[in-house]
Structure 1
Amino acid sequence: MQLESWITFCSIALLATATPGPAALLVSVHSLTFGFRKSLCTVLGNVTGLFIMSGLSVLGLSTIVLHSAVAFTVIKVLGALYLIYLGVKLWRHGLGKVDVSGSASTSGNVLSLYCQGVLVALTNPKAIVFTTALFPQFIVVSEPLLAQFSVLVFSFMSLSVLCLCSYALAAQSVKNKTPKLVSGSWLGKLFGSTFIGEGCFLATTAK
């Protein structure tokens, strides 16, 4: 793979991963609620989901999903319902009390945070489209395929980690600079509404 092609791929991948979406929202919520360190479990889960998506792209299985109206719709609906579920849960229960000292709730189960990250990645049709449509554009058939896919997947995952960690740190920075206690209920309704909006938007989008 030529350096120019790799730089172009990274530029597109960076734009895609830096754009606010369900994963960024989830990581921000977990960073505010459970702290930055525990939000890294969510980041790891999301990246794991992206790795699975990338692996399926390599095997050609995600192409089948992309070109199957039924399979794509099922994944899209499941993703939308999960986001709406998270939104309703946040709306009803809030984030808990978050204060400027950084002593966010530490009761978050690590496995649960990780699994939520995985689910958000696997039920996001944008990830399917991205890995299926973009990866082949930067593959040179005459060169070893495994090495090229490995470079693309590693680059994509690294940029995802960088962007999601940036969102988590930004959420912590906003919390730490708040001069007074932030209402977890108010934040819950704000993020909950955003999740519900994301879910509704996802449900109405086409391939």
Structure 2
Amino acid sequence: MTLQTWLLFISSTFFISATPGSNMLLAFQFGLNYGFKKTLYTLAGLSVGLLILLIISLTFIGWLSQSAPFAFEIMKVCAALYLAYLGVQIWRNAAQKMGSGGNWDIVPTPAQLFRTGVAVSLSNPKAILFFAALFPKFLNPTAPLMPQYIILALSFFVFETLWQLIYTGSGKALSAWLNQGKRLMWLNRLCALIFILIAAGLLWDMIKMLG
């Protein structure tokens, strides 16, 4: 891999990672409701989930999507159902008032925050396709592949973590303003609706493929 190829990869990844999705939305919403420090457990979970998806995509996801498309679609359905469930839970809890520390009255434990991050990250099958489709475009097949995979993966995780921290900090910065009236409730419900729409989009993609 040449320096020029790596620079092209990081410039593309920088903007792709900034695009709002389920991971960034979760970082923003938890930063808003639970504070920056507590959300770091969730960010760790998101990173672990992405690492698992990266390993999956580099091992057998290409084979799965081509040789066992039905199993792949089942995986997408499970992911969509989890995101929909998360959206419903957020909507139901949206009316809870924030405490003096800017957090929801019921704060999950670090383990629960971590597990939620892992689950949301794993529930994004589009990330698998992103890894499987993007990484090979920047690899030099005539050179050893493992060092190139490591460089690309580390570069991706740096930018992904950076944007997660930015989204988390943005949520925390808005917490005081949103704690007035019903602003927080409506923003949480908006986040819940986005999660549900992402789930609906996954299901719709599957229906169109079957049709």
Query: Is the 1:24–1:167 contact (alpha carbons within 8 Å) kept by the matching residues of 2?
Result: yes
User: Could you list the per-position Cα deviations for residues 92-113 of structure 1 after superposition, in whole angstroms to 9, with x for gaps in the alignment?
Assistant: 12163236x6531472211111
> How high is the TM-score relative to the length of structure 1?
0.89
Change (3 A) 1:179 1:135: closer
Structure 2 equivalent of residue 72 of structure 1? 72
SS in 2 for 1:205: helix
Query: Is the 1:45–1:114 contact (alpha carbons within 8 Å) kept by the matching residues of 2?
Result: yes
Tell me how far 1:45 sits from its aligned partner.
1.0
Structure 2 equivalent of residue 188 of structure 1? 188
Count matched residues.
205
Change (3 A) 1:111 1:166: same
SS in 2 for 1:29: helix
Tell me how far 1:132 sits from its aligned partner.
0.7
Distance 2:118 2:62 in 1: 20
Distance 2:65 2:121 in 1: 15
Structure 2 equivalent of residue 3 of structure 1? 3
Distance 2:16 2:41 in 1: 21
Change (3 A) 1:98 1:182: farther
Query: Is the 1:66–1:129 contact (alpha carbons within 8 Å) kept by the matching residues of 2?
Result: no
Tell me how far 1:65 sits from its aligned partner.
2.7
User: Could you list the per-position Cα deviations for residues 110-132 of structure 1 after superposition, in whole angstroms to 9, with x for gaps in the alignment?
Assistant: 11111111122222121111111
Query: Is the 1:45–1:115 contact (alpha carbons within 8 Å) kept by the matching residues of 2?
Result: yes
Distance 1:5 1:180 in 2: 48
Distance 1:122 1:179 in 2: 31
> How high is the TM-score relative to the length of structure 2?
0.87
Structure 2 equivalent of residue 23 of structure 1? 23
Aligned 1:111-130 pairs, distance under 5 A: 111-130=111-130
Does 1:63 find its partner at 2:56?
Answer: no
User: Could you list the per-position Cα deviations for residues 119-177 of structure 1 after superposition, in whole angstroms to 9, with x for gaps in the alignment?
Assistant: 22222121111111111111112222111110011111111101111111111112234
Change (3 A) 1:54 1:186: same
Identity of aligned residues (%): 34
Query: Is the 1:87–1:194 contact (alpha carbons within 8 Å) kept by the matching residues of 2?
Result: yes
Aligned 1:138-157 pairs, distance under 5 A: 138-157=138-157
Query: Is the 1:48–1:118 contact (alpha carbons within 8 Å) kept by the matching residues of 2?
Result: yes
Tell me how far 1:189 sits from its aligned partner.
2.1
Structure 2 equivalent of residue 161 of structure 1? 161
Amino acid in structure 1 at the alignment position of 2:180: K
User: Could you list the per-position Cα deviations for residues 67-116 of structure 1 after superposition, in whole angstroms to 9, with x for gaps in the alignment?
Assistant: 232122112111111111011111112163236x6531472211111111
SS in 2 for 1:121: helix
Structure 2 equivalent of residue 48 of structure 1? 48
Amino acid in structure 1 at the alignment position of 2:63: I
Does 1:104 find its partner at 2:103?
Answer: yes
